[in-house]
């Protein structure tokens, strides 16, 4: 029994029909024509390259020339020698059409695999301002087909939203205090909590601030919807310190401004001063600092949507961390 071996590629003998006057080549036939030219008008070589029989290629060229009343090739004893002037022009146009066609297909393929959908991200206002402004803006600009809904509430309240699956991804602070069986949790960045005050405040003279110096001292701190509030409350209780909390607020910039020209002290993450331009405010580190650890969390699922998985990895890549 005869058959095609590895060195004998299958050749298809298609019959190219041009039905009527003015019929033009389709994109596939234009590609065949370009291949013939690139094979130096050698039909035999072109036939092997594109797996179309030589008679079929010859017929394609002949029928087109007859129907269009034009010669694409100059011939010698019936063999194709070179492109005619009309063929040169047709070849240039064919290349442009094929290039545009391939570009169109590439765009279609990119659109088909483009990440689309909606993602709900919960972020505490302080974290959004100081840590996440760049990553969120980059996510939105680079992925216009993803609708990003931001829920901006304190980390303490946001924890509840995550458990209730009101958000897909939550940016929280350690300790999260949710079972690892229920959520996936990865640390993104870590800083210290520092004391901020007016430079005229007597505590601003300290190189390092002791927690005991805050006993009975007037304070301005985040309200109960913020994890920092609960961190500080626990720290004060552990050290038997009773500061005079005169102001609670959800606005970090208000807390900072409240210290200017007063004896008030507020406690915020170290990087915050880079987002608040006022030379009257001093930042003092604690001799026994509290860490401010930002983590990304999501409820564990058997299968995540493409959008959720993409955004989760996008955020991890921005901070240069990877899944365990």
Full set of structural domains in the chain with CATH: 27-112 (1.10.10.10), 117-189+293-318 (3.40.190.10), 191-291 (3.40.190.290)
pTM score: 0.61
For the chain, the average pLDDT equals: 86
pLDDT of residue 110: 65
Q: What are phi and psi of 171, to 5 degrees?
A: -100, 110
pLDDT in tens, 105-155: 877 776 656 778 899 999 998 898 888 888 999 999 988 889 999 999 888
What distance in Å separates the CA atoms of residue 295 and residue 5, rounded to the nearest whole number?
Answer: 60
What distance in Å separates the CA atoms of residue 185 and residue 295, rounded to the nearest whole number?
Answer: 6
pLDDT at residue 324 above 90?
A: no
């Amino acid at each position: 029994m005869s058959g095609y071996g590895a060195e004998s590629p299958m050749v298809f003998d298609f019959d190219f029909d041009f039905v009527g006057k003015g019929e033009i080549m389709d994109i596939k036939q234009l590609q065949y024509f370009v291949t013939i030219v690139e094979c130096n008008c050698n039909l035999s070589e072109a036939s092997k390259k594109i797996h179309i029989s030589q008679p079929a290629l010859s017929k394609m060229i002949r029928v087109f020339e007859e129907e269009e009343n034009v010669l694409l090739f100059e011939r010698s004893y019936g063999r194709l020698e070179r492109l005619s002037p009309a063929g040169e022009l047709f070849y240039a146009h064919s290349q442009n059409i094929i290039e545009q066609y391939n570009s169109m297909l590439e765009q279609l393929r990119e659109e088909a695999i483009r990440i689309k959908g909606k993602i709900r991200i919960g972020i505490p206002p302080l974290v959004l301002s100081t840590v996440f402004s760049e990553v969120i803006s980059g996510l939105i600009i680079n992925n216009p087909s993803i609708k990003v809904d931001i829920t901006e509430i304190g980390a303490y309240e946001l924890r509840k939203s995550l458990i209730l699956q009101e958000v897909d991804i939550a940016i929280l602070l350690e300790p999260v205090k949710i079972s690892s069986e229920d959520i996936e949790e990865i640390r993104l960045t870590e800083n210290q909590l520092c004391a901020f005050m007016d430079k005229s405040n007597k505590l601003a003279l300290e190189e390092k601030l002791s927690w005991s110096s805050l006993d009975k001292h007037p304070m301005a701190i985040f309200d109960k919807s913020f994890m920092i509030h609960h961190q500080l409350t626990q720290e004060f209780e552990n050290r038997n310190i009773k500061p005079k909390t005169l102001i609670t607020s959800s606005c970090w910039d208000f807390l900072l401004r409240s210290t200017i020209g007063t004896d008030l002290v507020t406690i915020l993450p170290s990087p915050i001063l880079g987002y608040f331009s006022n030379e009257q405010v001093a930042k003092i580190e604690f001799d026994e600092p509290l860490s401010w650890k930002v983590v990304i969390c999501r409820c564990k699922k058997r299968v995540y949507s493409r959008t959720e998985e993409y955004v989760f990895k996008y955020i991890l890549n921005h901070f240069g961390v990877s899944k365990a």
